[in-house]
Structure 1
Amino acid sequence: MWKTITLFILFVTINGQCSCSKFTDQSSCFAYGYCLFVNGVCSEQKCEAIPYQEKCKSPLCLWKDDKCSTFKAYEETCQALLPQQCTQYQGCYYDYTNLKCSINKDCSSLKIDQCNGKLQNGNSCVADPFNNRCQEMTDCKSLTTEFMCLSQFPQCKYVDSTCQPQVCTDIKDNISCTFIDECQWNHDKCQYKNCQSIAFGYLCNGNTCGFDKNKCFACFEQYSYQLFVGLISLLFIL
């Protein structure tokens, strides 16, 4: 007797950000992240090896005394930052009552007027003034109130009393679509980026795509298969 079994297979793609080594053009290398072109190779540089002020940037590096150095969040290093720099560096928050930049170790201990910036682990502090709360945001699902969730739009959306990550295809306007790195506005719709279809470097560079030699390419490393849900029918004899 012939039997047919239908199996649902889910292939998963594991993604990672663009590495400097993917860039072969000197100008494209310089435009991306902490990359520098040294001895014909594009590679990520330590802050101390960066000789240019425009490449010495938050959240890893700080330009001070005409040199670039690795930024480490201590009370004295946070206090030395200008107000407009304060929340750009991980581990610092700006105290609007006392008008100073201070070290940030725990979002939940901050008052509402201090609930800004990021922890040293890169997670943001998000305020809910209605409930007088400051909470660490690990992802959209970690936000426990509607106000905090909506304050992170368009990255997050509030559905069925829970905070959820935004889906590109659910976004209906161009501006909100462009705020999310993995989304692009195309043919009056917000879609997931197809890096190869992007013609301009300023639209390409980010965590999702990189621009090199006048071409846009996907940063993601494919360790497995692309996301695909398929059906397989197997025939066998009992």
Structure 2
Amino acid sequence: MWKTITLFSLFIVINGQCSCSKFTNETNCYAYGYCLFQNGACKEAECEAIPYEGKCKSPRCLWKDDKCSTFKADEQTCSALLPQLCTKYEGCHYDYSNLKCVVTNDCSSLHIDQCNGKLLNGNFCVGDPFENKCQEMTDCKSLTTEFMCLSQSPHCKYENSVCSPQVCTEIKDEFSCSFLDECQWNNERCQYKNCQSIKFGYLCNGDTCGFDQNECFTCVEQYGYQLFVGLISLLFIL
């Protein structure tokens, strides 16, 4: 029989974030990430110190009862999250069978229709319905099936039975190039982003580059993982 399953699809971007201490200007400090400007310095904000909802964001912070607090995954806090917020917080996944957000402890223990969300270490669960398999994803190379790897395109590529990170210079179209924060489309080809060549702050700020002192600079703290979560529907025969 034919069956449709809706799964979370993960897209991984290999980069990091600028340290808040890199920003010396108060305006630029507030414009970037979780940074707050206090006592003449830009620093990473403790959730409890964030005074407004706009900067109280997942996966570290949760806005509740008109205040920002550090998120701690447990049955009570996960179950209180709306479906669209559930998988943005570490330690939670959405159970489509029972239509509720619950705690995530181990990807391999999840049924395929529960295979989504983050573990407490920040890694995501990714599944293959044809193999009926859910596993923890640390990077592209950790994905063990072709389906899992191709579901991460253009961030991962599958060649010679191996899943590996996409290389900017191998991407042939502007649309795919634009998905990767570390890549930029220039002179009709995809290249690694040259932060110093970017002239405007709104084009600069991201995981790869930061803007301060009227200049765009390269973030030092790279090689972490940022993930974008979307939804895909799969139709297959059981």
For this structure pair, what is the TM-score category when the shorter chain's length is used for normalisation? 0.7 to 0.9
| 1:41-74: CA deviation from partner (whole Å, max 9, x where unpaired) | 1111110111011010000000000100000111
**How many residues were matched structurally?**
208
Aligned pairs for 1:115-126 within 5 A: 115-126=115-126
Q: Which amino acid aligns with 1:208?
A: T
The residue number in structure 2 matching 1:218 is 218
CA shift, 1:16, in A, is 6.7
Larger radius of gyration: 1
| 1:178-226: CA deviation from partner (whole Å, max 9, x where unpaired) | 211211111111111100111232321122110124321111269xxxx
Q: Which amino acid aligns with 2:161?
A: S
The residue number in structure 1 matching 2:131 is 131
CA shift, 1:33, in A, is 1.5
Is residue 2:145 matched to residue 1:145? yes
CA shift, 1:117, in A, is 1.2
Is residue 2:172 matched to residue 1:172? yes
Which protein has greater RCO, CA pairs closer than 8 Å, 6+ apart? 2
Question: What is the rounded CA distance, in whole Å, between the counterparts of 2:210 and 2:95 in structure 1?
Answer: 37
Question: What is the rounded CA distance, in whole Å, between the counterparts of 1:61 and 1:137 in structure 2?
Answer: 23
Is residue 2:59 matched to residue 1:56? no
The residue number in structure 2 matching 1:44 is 44
* Structure 2 gap ranges (5+): 1-14, 223-238
Q: Which amino acid aligns with 1:211?
A: F
Aligned pairs for 1:55-74 within 5 A: 55-74=55-74
The residue number in structure 2 matching 1:34 is 34
206-215 vs 71-80, which deviates more? 206-215
Question: What is the rounded CA distance, in whole Å, between the counterparts of 2:221 and 2:94 in structure 1?
Answer: 37
| 1:10-38: CA deviation from partner (whole Å, max 9, x where unpaired) | xxxxx974211111222211121110111
Identity value in percent: 75
Question: What is the rounded CA distance, in whole Å, between the counterparts of 1:195 and 1:159 in structure 2?
Answer: 30
The alignment partner of 1:78 has SS state of: helix
- Taking a change above 3 Å as real, the CA distance of residues 137 and 19 of structure 1, as seen in their structure-2 partners, is same
Aligned pairs for 1:102-117 within 5 A: 102-117=102-117
RMSD: 1.6
The residue number in structure 2 matching 1:76 is 76
* Structure 1 gap ranges (5+): 1-14, 223-238
- Taking a change above 3 Å as real, the CA distance of residues 129 and 170 of structure 1, as seen in their structure-2 partners, is same
Please, what TM-score do these two structures have when normalized by structure 2? 0.84
Question: What is the rounded CA distance, in whole Å, between the counterparts of 2:178 and 2:40 in structure 1?
Answer: 34
Q: Runs of at least 4 residues of structure 1 off by over 6 A? A: none
Is residue 2:182 matched to residue 1:182? yes
Question: What is the rounded CA distance, in whole Å, between the counterparts of 2:47 and 2:16 in structure 1?
Answer: 22
Answer yes or no: is the 8 Å Cα contact 2:178–2:185 preserved in 1: yes
The alignment partner of 1:63 has SS state of: strand
The alignment partner of 2:136 has SS state of: strand
Question: What is the rounded CA distance, in whole Å, between the counterparts of 1:179 and 1:26 in structure 2?
Answer: 29
Question: What is the rounded CA distance, in whole Å, between the counterparts of 1:145 and 1:166 in structure 2?
Answer: 16
Please, what TM-score do these two structures have when normalized by structure 1? 0.84
